[in-house]
Amino acid sequence: MTETALRLGARVGPLPGWQLATLVDAWDESPSARTLVLEVPTWPGHLAGQHLDVRLTAEDGYRAERSYSIGAGAGAGIATVVEGSGSSRAGYHPAPRSSAPPASPATPARDDPDPALSTDVPRVEITVQRVPGGEVSGYLTDPVEGFRVGYPVEVRGPVGGWFVWDPDDTDPMVAGRPVLLVAGGSGVVPLMAMVRARRAARSRVPFRLVYSVRTPDDRLYVDELTRPRAGDQGLDITVVHTRAAPLDARRGPGRLTPAELAAHGWPADLEPVCYVCGPTPFVEVVARMLLLQGHAPERIRTERFGPAGD
C-alpha cells in the first residue's frame, strides 16, 4: 500500500453535503475485493442500481474521492443482508470479524465497542475491487493497515436515477418486463443489488444474469449466485470466464460472444429491459451486440467505469 493510501481516512467530521459513515462489518468477496457495511445515520434510502460517493481526507488536507455501486437491495437505508450472513459469510474466504480496533490519533473512537451489533441505524453495503496501485481501493480493501471496523468515512448519495430497477416501477418501459443483466467483472455489484431487490420483493419478473469474469477467483458473491435463495425462482445465471475456467465449466475461457449473449439473454421481441455494467470497452461491445440483435436503444441501460477509477 502506498504512503498516500495509509494517510487517507483521517478526517474527524463531514463537510457540507457529505455524511459521516462508520464501518461496522466487512468481509472478503474474492482475493481482491472486499464488501463493506457502513452505518449512515441519515441515509435517505436508495434504489437498486444506484451508487454513492466516498471521500477520504488525510490530516494534511489531501483528499481522494471515488464512486462505488451499492450492493444492497433497495430500501430505506437498511442493507439487504445476504441470507446466512454473519461473521462466517459465504464469499471468498472471509477473515473472522473483530470488534472495533483501538482508535489511532487520527481516528475518532466510538462509544459502542462492537458497532456491528447496532442494527437500528441505516446501513449501506458496497463492494470495493482493489486496483493495483489504487490509493483509495487499496485503503478500503486493507483490513490490517487500512480501513478497519469502527473507522469513519465520508459518503454522499444515493446517486443515479437511470440505471435502476424498482419492483414497484409503473413505467410501462420497465413494469413487468423481463430483465437482462450483463456484468463484466466488478460491474456485477449494482446488478446484484437488483437481484436482491427482486428477491426481497418476491417479484416474479423473470431475470437473466450473464456474468463475464476473468477467472474463478475473480467471481464475486459466489455462494449467493450458485445456491438459489428463497425468492430466486425465475432467475437464470450464466457465468463466462475469459482467462481461466474451472474444470467443470461448460465452455473454455474466452470472451462473451454474440451467440452466447443471444442464447442466455432474452429475445428482442420480448422487449426486455437490459442493464449492462462493467469496464468501458466491455459495455460498449455488449451494447453493440444487443443493438445488432434487435434490442431497442431505449431499453438498453449502461453503467461503465474506466481504468482510472480505483
Given a cut of 70, whether residue 79 has pLDDT beyond it is no
User: Domains plus CATH for the chain?
Assistant: 3-159 (2.40.30.10), 179-305 (3.40.50.80)
- DSSP letter string, 54-66: EEEE-TTS-EEEE
DSSP E strand boundaries for the chain = 19-30, 33-39, 51-57, 63-69, 123-129, 152-159, 179-184, 207-213, 235-241, 273-279, 300-305
Measure the N-to-C terminal CA separation of the chain; round to a whole number of Å: 13
pLDDT of res. 59: 86
- The reply to whether omega before 172 is within 30° of 0 (cis) is no
pLDDT digits (tens, 9 = 90+) for 198-207: 999 999 999 9
pLDDT digits (tens, 9 = 90+) for 232-255: 999 999 999 999 999 888 899 999
Q: Whose CA is closest to 273, among 183, 192, 176, 168?
A: 176
Task: Report which residue type is found at 198.
Answer: R
pLDDT digits (tens, 9 = 90+) for 19-61: 999 999 999 999 999 999 999 999 999 999 999 999 999 888 9
Given a cut of 60, whether residue 168 has pLDDT beyond it is yes
pLDDT digits (tens, 9 = 90+) for 186-226: 999 999 999 999 999 999 999 999 999 999 999 999 999 99
Given a cut of 90, whether residue 117 has pLDDT beyond it is no
Given a cut of 50, whether residue 15 has pLDDT beyond it is no
pLDDT of res. 9: 41
Instruction: Quote the pTM value.
Output: 0.81
Q: Is 256 exposed, middle or buried (0-12, 13-18, 19+ CB in 10 A)?
A: buried
